[in-house]
Amino acid sequence: MNLFREAEGFKSVCIAGMSKNAGKTTVLNAFLDAFHAHGVGVAVTSIGRDGESNDVVFDVAKPEVFLKKGDIAATAKGLLPLCTVTREILCATGFPTPLGEVVVFRALSDGFVQIAGPSIVAQLAELKKIFFGLGARIVFFDGALGRKSLCSPEVADAAVLASGASLSADMDFTVAETAFAVRLLQSDALNPDTAARLEKAEAACALTENGIVPLDKSVKPAENTRLIFVPGALTNERKWAMDTAAELSVPLVVENGANVLADRSAAEKFFADGGKLLQLKKVALLAVAVNPFSAFGYEYDAATFEKKMRDAVNVPVLNVKNIKVTK
């Protein structure tokens, strides 16, 4: 897979993880290397902390984030002394983190950085605007533990989903969970005109022939319901929306496939009952990256894991231990 060719048509790419230690930072560095090889500067930040040489939770070695001179990054003030690049502070964002306010800087030399950005989608979207205002060509967001919400279209145009042995000792479980996440992210997008009508809804609602009406589990939808929309997270507590949509044979719409947080068993029952899932906007899924090594001391057979994942998903699969950067 030519990483530059796959990503160059997008303005922002998120690397989201099914779990911690899934290989996200390795994938991020591979994309950065690919763009550096073509002389394209990048902007980068992280939700959570990345770039530390050892994982602060599991105490295992981690790859560091490498920037070239001219690249732009956003990180918490408290991590600046740990960055080896010389830098020019460009602006303060006002976004707080446990490690201090997020600031934006330009690298004046090559070197390693530790990055920790905001954890709120709206702040990440605002940070993206700041990057582009400073001349960035492409922005990379590195994800954090289980935060597939980074795949929100407000944050990124494209995504890579990283998964690995740290998710579970059971390889088949990891493959199934990842394949299911891929299915959700690849759900069809609602037509733009209808999506625009629903974007401002703050609570579950039904779109009927007479307009948009509020909906909850105690309200029986009208027979002329065309779809059901659930903004925010579709959790186990909102499974009633899946049951109702399947019963009425109408689509269930979510803001983004990453917002489906209900148990896989509940969502699979929805699909088995004939349910159809749509999303307001769709992010292009570029690839699934797999890491056969676990932070807990065990590992999968790499070849078997990669083959099973390739058989389970319809996007390219990258082994994080064998990513090659090609011009």
The Cα–Cα gap between 68 and 109 comes to: 6
Q: Following CA atoms 211, 238, 143, 319 in sequence, which dihedral angle do they give, to the nearest 10 degrees? A: -110
User: 3-185+282-319 maps to which CATH number?
Assistant: 3.40.50
- For the segment 93-98, the average pLDDT, to the nearest whole number, is 94
pLDDT at 148: 54
Q: Which residues pair with 114 in a beta bridge?
A: none
pLDDT at 216: 87
- For the segment 164-174, the average pLDDT, to the nearest whole number, is 96
Q: What is the mean pLDDT of the chain?
A: 90
pLDDT-derived band at 190, boundaries 50, 70, 90: very high
pLDDT at 154: 83
| Percentage of residues of the chain with pLDDT beyond 70 | 91
Q: Which of 1-5, 79-83, 151-155 has the lowest mean pLDDT?
A: 151-155
pLDDT at 51: 43
Greatest mean pLDDT among 49-58, 118-127, 226-235 lies in: 226-235
Return the closest-CA partner of residue 295 out of 113, 63, 62, 66. Answer: 62
Q: What is the pTM of this model?
A: 0.89
Residue with more model confidence, 320 or 148:
320
What digits encode the pLDDT tens for the residues 299-325? 999 999 999 999 999 999 999 888 765
pLDDT at 64: 84
pLDDT at 147: 53
- For the segment 246-255, the average pLDDT, to the nearest whole number, is 95
pLDDT-derived band at 19, boundaries 50, 70, 90: confident
Amino acid at residue number 286: L
Residue with more model confidence, 77 or 60:
77
What are the boundaries of each domain within the chain? 3-185+282-319, 192-279
pLDDT at 301: 96
With contact defined as beta carbons under 8 Å apart, do 253 and 279 qualify? yes
Q: Are strands 65-67 and 111-113 parallel, antiparallel or unpaired?
A: antiparallel
- For the segment 21-38, the average pLDDT, to the nearest whole number, is 92
Residue 308's CB is within 10 A of a number of other CB atoms, namely 21
With contact defined as beta carbons under 8 Å apart, do 117 and 12 qualify? no
What digits encode the pLDDT tens for the residues 40-59? 989 999 886 544 444 444 44
E strand or H helix at 195, and its extent? helix 192-198
pLDDT at 235: 93
Check whether 277 has a pLDDT greater than 90: yes
pLDDT at 326: 52
Check whether 145 has a pLDDT greater than 50: no
